[in-house]
Homo-oligomer: A and B are copies of this chain.
Amino acid sequence: MSAQSFNFAGQHILSVNQFNRDAIEYIFHIANQMRPYAQRQKRTEVLRGAILGNLFFEPSTRTRVSFGTAFNLLGGEVRETVGMSNSALAKGESLYDTARVLSGYSDIIAMRHPQAGSVAEFSGGSRVPVINGGDGANEHPTQALLDLYTIEKECKSHGSTIDGLHIAMIGDLKYGRTVHSLCKLLSLYNNIHFTLISPTELAMPESILSAITNGGHKLTITDQLSGSVDADICYQTRIQEERFTSQDEADKFRGKFRLDQAIYTKHFQSKTVIMHPLPRDSRAEANELDNDLNQHPNLAIFRQTDNGVLVRMALFALTLGVENIMQQHEKPVLWQTPKSTL
């Protein structure tokens, strides 16, 4: 597990486009080293005294807490801001000013904002590294990285690799920034087979399809789940019925992009790993990923969120340049921890 070393110290993490395959493998190499800290076998205090500015101008509980926890697990402190209604941004302050001011209050910033491009604009005024926690319809690079990291771990536990992977993506492939970024990252690997299953109205954009085919990968496109799909990964996303042109159209597709135990058994093989970016709608009328798969060993959705902590820890360690000294500042965990998963 020796990966080529990269120096990310002082860099912003804004987009998946800034990584090549070697860089990603180095990030994952560091993420692997975070596992004993996240599993509470031991602690590290390498970032004791460092401050994360966790700026969620658009609320997102799980992403916000995941960033904060990741920073705490490295020993650092977190100062948070949630929402924008009372902020100076709402009163006409420029992102440049906000960045100049708030970057004086922390050592690193994680930021979510509803407007595409806003995090990159903010980073132009920041004096500390900025990690994009989601900027509207544009990018959510840590989600894409944790998805890819999960795919690698799941492949490894099945004795395979990302190279040669067959992934089926199901649902709303048009509006989901998650699947777009994941396709870009997977395209950096070799010989991937993408099976894209979506209603025509919600098909994967042309730019992503080009990235896939330009990478020499195999592409199968269909508007419904049928027959046997020999996929290693089934990446399920939410479809919102209001996306369809009419209720008739929506009714026509009802259940065609949903996954439950029966549909899984009918169309997939026993090896197929189920992923979902979460949250999922678990209400009765939802059309998504059923609770009857909750105990299935191949349901990786909670491994995804657990892995998100590891990936975010890795990005913090890398951008702050401490990835090689974490072990020197380890401490024992004194409390009893029931965690056996992860």
A335 contacts which of B47, B72, B127, B333 (Cβ < 8 Å)? Answer: B47
Contact B305 A101 (CB under 8 A): yes
Copies in the complex: 3
A248 within 8 A of B: no
CA distance A93 to B69 in the complex (A): 21
Interface string of A283-312 (1 = CB under 8 A from B): 100100001001000000010011001000
CA distance A87 to B291 in the complex (A): 20
- Chain A residues 41 to 84 lying within 8 A of chain B, measured CB to CB, are 43, 45-51, 53, 59-62, 65-66, 68-69, 72-73, 75, 77-81, 83
Residue of B nearest to A77 (CB): B72
A336 within 8 A of B: yes
A13 within 8 A of B: no
A47 to chain B, nearest CB (A): 6
The segment from A156-164, A229-237, A273-281 found at the interface with B is A273-281
Q: Give me 30 A-to-B residue pairs in the complex whose CB atoms sit less than 8 angstroms apart, sorted by A's number.
A: A9-B336, A43-B48, A49-B333, A53-B65, A59-B86, A60-B86, A61-B87, A62-B101, A62-B102, A65-B81, A72-B79, A77-B77, A83-B86, A88-B278, A88-B279, A92-B281, A94-B282, A94-B291, A96-B282, A97-B279, A101-B302, A101-B305, A104-B302, A104-B306, A104-B309, A105-B309, A128-B339, A320-B336, A322-B335, A325-B334
Which A residues form the contact surface with B (CB < 8 A)? 9-10, 40, 43, 45-51, 53, 59-62, 65-66, 68-69, 72-73, 75, 77-81, 83, 86-88, 91-94, 96-98, 100-102, 104-107, 127-129, 278-283, 286, 291, 294, 302, 305-306, 309, 320-322, 325, 329, 331, 333-342
